[in-house]
Structure 1
Amino acid sequence: MQQRIMIVEDERIVALDLKNSLTHLGYEVVGMASRGSDAIQLAGSLQPDMILMDINLEDEMDGTEAASTIFQRWQLPVIFLTAYAEEKSLERAEASLPYGYLLKPFDLRELKATLQMALARRRTELNLRQTEQRLRLAMQAAALGLWEWDMERDILHLSGNDPLVRLFPDGHCQGIEQFTRLLLLPSQQQLRKALRGNGAFNLTLGYLRPQGDLAWIDLYADYRDLGDGRKGMIGVFLDVTERCRREELLRQANVVFDTAAEGIIIMDEQQQIISVNPAFTRLTGFSRDEVLGQSPDRFMQTRRQGDSQYPWHTLGRKNPVWHGEMSCLRRDGQPFTAWQHVSIVYGQGRKTTHYVIAFSDISAMRHVEAQLNHLAYHDALTGLGNRNLIQERLGIELQTARINHHSLGLLFLDLDGFKLINDTLGHSAGDELLKVLACRLQGIIRSTDIVARLGGDEFLILVPRLTHPQELEVLSDKILNTIRLPLMLCSDPVTISASIGISIFPNDGTTPEALLQAADSAMYEAKSQGRNRCLLYSPDMARRSLDKLKLEQGLSQAIQRQELELFFQPIIALHSGQLCGVEALLRWHHGERGLMTPDKFIPIAEESDLIDRLGRWVMRTACQQGQHWLQAGFPLTRLAVNVSVRELRASDYIEQLQGILDETGFPPERLELEVTESIMQQVDQSLTLFSRLKQLGVMIAIDDFGTGFSSLSLLKSLPIDRIKIDRSFVQPLPHDRHSCELCRTILTLAHNLDLTVTAEGIEQEEQYHFLQQLGCEDGQGYLFSKPQPAANMTDQWDRRIHGSPVYPKV
């Protein structure tokens, strides 16, 4: 291919002669111009391989200026032609970076040689330019930056599109140390150490971007001769921030994989194991090498004949995750229950590449659940079924009896004199007795019968199928004879008896409640007839209901007959032994039954409408007596009155109480209302009620604390002043460890909530001293005084006036 030459010469004859010479040498002359401006325009349109240009043109623009413009615009090579070799002309020509000079006149050989050398240089430069362009494109495609350090002048230049370049003006950095200080401290140390060496290095360096986020680069650099005897380094760098982040996430995942408490199995797309973590080995006993290449369901899952495929085999795009409970095997063959989570890992194109199984051993949890379920249906002391179990089974067996038209029997057993054994030998002995008797009962009944402990010393025996009622009497006699056998308690032989009531389906009832009530009535009848016997239920046992009705009717007339009286029990400050208040306690002087305590008739009053009338009488009488004592000069600081939940739930109770206080003149701040824990169940209503009571100025105490079902957290929500520890917690003190801890806990809780505490049922000095040491403020009980009529309180008030303690008595 001919080389294309353009001629710029203002002398036409010289230009034509030069054209002929070039044509003779095999070149193609593509254009000719005589002026500089024309030469620039022609060069731009023709883009020749070489331009022969006369320096001195008859134009405003000489050849050197035209050549400079052409080179700046298109980098086209120029060889100058001149008949003069003045120094100034040559200097101007040199500034335009020419490819050579020809002094006129020149011969053909000079022209040929000059053109050959200039064109060879041109080809080399074009090749180098293409190479540089390809390198630049490659660096751009690879997102590489160029890193050049002139060691002699300590100038660092960065180029490329990386954000790191933009941290320096035009990519110029004033010395290697400025660049180094930009890096994180560990990276600074890495780079300084590498620069002290004599060879190439490849480092991963970190730095903070202006936004504050962490970035990383890979820098590869090597020593090079920069020319002119200057030494330096040239390298490339690549932003690897995303790779470093992924590597960090991978390291974190690796730590999780190695340290997770859950066993982790990674499988390929064929469900073959390719990796397991240490927890897998710990949970199953299988080592990594033993399971690689296997499927988990071939060695780990328990499988019965005929079972279908395991859940994760059915995973797909619609169901990429499965979790559930599986029964698994350890290496030693021991089964365990595992909670498994199975996931699909997708690659490009949503193609399944791996499966991941994470599992945990929940055998302990299932064991605890089984234990809790057992406790829900079994008595913790004896191991027998409890009320829940017997009620559930009774309902099931009744349904079966109806369908199959057969009879069913229920025995209600209550021990005779068990409380006496508890009180004399202690609760531990009582518990041991119950366990022994439970074993005896289980040994007597048939395998189809069910025995359960209702609580305390009460037991139920369910006989699901009867042929004759006499079977139950025979069974009851065997039970009574077995119970009467002596047993050793506290190294002493003890004999105990029982009373048994019997009810039969369908004669005595068709529901669990009716059968239980009938058996209970028969049991009480057996006790009333002398104990140590069994009785079948009969309708005449309804007499008890009649007695209850008579009691209710008598109570409704007790107020008019003036059979009710308030007794008062002193409340003692335990730190001083002095009287600090009294509690009003109701007594009924029954014409036939004598003096009756509230536990005998208050439940009946609460079941009827009598409790409201009774409550108003108690509150009015107590306030009248309190005001009488105050007017007599007795220092009554606290008058405690029990109020039932039913009274408090009356819509006008606050108004009733306000009316009584106004009527009697008793100061509300000296009145303390004692309520049971059951009132606390409905928090919002209780908060409203208690707040209104506090507005009246009265104090509020929670009676029999610890025996109800309230949440302790409610104490902090309600405006309560005091809690009273139930006597059932006080009586075992200080010998029963559990009671001691309960009392200590109640006192700590109360004091942390700024509540004061009164202990009920203090009957022994050691109980008094123990509670005193715990910091209990007040107490009451037979140790100090039994409840007594108001008239008998004079001595107590006199001792209080003179500052003498009620206890110890002096």
Structure 2
Amino acid sequence: MNHSMDHSWQGSYDTALVVFSYIVAVVASYTVLGFVVRISKSSGWQRWGWLLFGSIAMGMGVWSMHFVGMLAFSLPVPIAYDLLTVLLSVVVVILASFLALFIVGRGTIGRKKLVAGGLLLASGIVAMHYIGMAAMQIHITYKPLLFAASILIAVVASITALWLSLYFGSKHKGQESIKKLASGLIMGAAVVGMHYTGMYAAEFHPGVAVNESGVILDQKLLAYLIAGATLMTLGLSLFGIYISNRFSSKESELEVSEKWYKSLFDNNQDGIISVDLDYRIIEYNDAVCRLTGLDGDWLRRQTIDQIFSFIAEEEQEKTRMKFLASLQGVIQRYETAIYHQDGRRVELSVINIPVKLNEEVVGNYIIARDVTEDKRSKEKIQHQAHHDELTGLPNRRRFHQILNEKIQEKNTPFAVMVLDIDRFKMINDSMGHTYGDMFLQEVSRRIQVALKDNHVTLSRMGGDEFTLLSHAEFDQEHVAVMAQDIIRMISQPYRLKDTDFYVTASIGIAVYPMDGDNAVQLLKNADTAMYEVKKNGKNGYRLYSRELNEQLREKMELEADLRRAFEREEFMLCYQPQIRSSDSKMIGIEALVRWKHATRGIVSPGVFIPIAEETGLIHELGSWVLREACRQMKEWHTAGGPLIPVSVNLSSQQFHQENLAEFIISILDETGLPPQYLELEITESMMMDPTVSTGILHSLTEHGIRISLDDFGTGYSSLSYLKHLPIQKLKIDRSFIRDIASNANDKAIVATIIAMAQHLNMDVVAEGIETQEQLDILTESDCRKIQGYFYSRPLPAWDVEQGFFVPQREMPSKA
């Protein structure tokens, strides 16, 4: 049939085939996008296989859609096809698909890759379409705008489909199927849209034969056969992808798990060794080499027995037993130690973990952590908790532990010593704590030197107190030698700040079990013995005895009673008159405190005064004595006299109390006694520091109070303080009076003291006069003021008033 070139045929479409062609395009696109994902996740020969298979499936799917679409189109006359050209269109689209998949399936998707892949895919689709159109044995022309539109649709849709599939699919892992389906619908629409836009752009001109060798095909039957075969092929491809994805997912999970494990294994700071049932080392990490110093190549060829040879000898058996126990399926945790190749000891915390497959132990993981520093820190903390920071010696807590352990043995008697440094406070206060610490360090060093040949635990309990535990069986002679050696070492001079200092030590000793069967009792009794040494002049040692315990108990009871004596008003004053020998008149009186105990009767001042001084009760007692004596003397004065002074003894603690003068004046004001009738008796020991005593005495005498120096000649007598200090009276101690009748030296000393006092314009009183002979000798030496039993013992206030005050009031006054 001949037609003019100016006319073109209008074709018609089989709607069912058109829809079928879109379905083929969507399935093909979905399949291809699945291939893209597989290609992007594959490597090596698997990737090339997926690329080839994917490009063929994609090319065939797109070509099938095109060919079905072509067969869905019918012109008024049958159209023949050039089969070689049809085959070329298939090859072109497969090649373009291969290149597109190669680009977009390689590494991370980027903008350039996305555009390049989309352009290649679109080019393949367009080329396939128009080459396929060229296979039709009819002259075809194209409308330019629609031709261009068909190409643009292919490009935009291809890029969009790839972008949805790759970009969003990588960020939304849980929605891969939905994204792929959406991408498939879009890509299918792109292929179909491009195809039918291209078909709409085509104009078929009748009467012009392009090639007479074409083949006329049965359009409908062939279209359904091609579409069905393609769908089946694509379905099988999808199933293959699904199966592959399942296996790939498992492989990926295993690979990820393996990488996680490998990373944990290789980078773990703990050493890890894998060992099989034949004790062969299967695997190890770098930390093992760091912990042991062993070379990796050497480790790889060894059994675990070879490693055991580097374990510390005392830990080998335990470590081996723990390893064997773990092979029985039980996790083992323990500590051991290994020697590094450089010779240092490495402390390890180890876990042995059995490896099980199908409930059967197939090997063992040995995980070892270096705890050397941790152990060292713990040991340091432990050492600090049980040792003195200054000297490094065991402290109180540690000494008690060692002593209790020794007691628990209950083997043989042993000695415990308590040592205290005499006069340490003087060094600490005068030189400061820094030099005090240096002194204590030197003391501890000297004690250790003295004990170097003895099995003794030396401890610093605190301050300047040390304790010693002799582990040897008690031998009194041996313990005495030890104590003497320590005292001798400590008594050597200490050079501090260019000055030599001398100290002594007092040591008390208690013996287990005789002096105590527990730590507290032993230390208490040793302490008691030490304080007895201090009480008797210091610089010595003493063993505890039951007599000491009785004395201590007695002392503690007296101390308790002494504190209650104020409340019970058990104290009283007795008064001993001072007599002028020429006329036997009372010229003064001394107030002496007495303690009338509820059960003990009268307690001697020599017993309770030292306890009062030691406990600090002397302040309260001294204040009471002073106030009561002043009150009583004011009462006697008011009753008619005679107007004589009362003497009151001051203790050293009272003498050095703050504002002494103000305190005494307040008592005088309170009682109404004029200051000139109060005489304070002090001892020579209070004069040792003239810079202090001078100020105190002057402040007292400025108010009219008289000062008497008691017990003169028995202490640190010095003529200089007699010259410079405001002292009005000397009292000759009774120790010189006792043997004055038979001892020429005592007689000479007394005569000298009397003569010196008279030359210094001081009054002198001799105390302790008991016989006429003593009185005569004193009178011959011109001592006229006497105090003692010869005239009167100390008497209560009523008795002294009736015996001395009342008679003297009745006598006419005599100048």
Larger Rg: 2
TM-score (norm 1): 0.43
TM-score (norm 2): 0.43
Higher helix share: 2
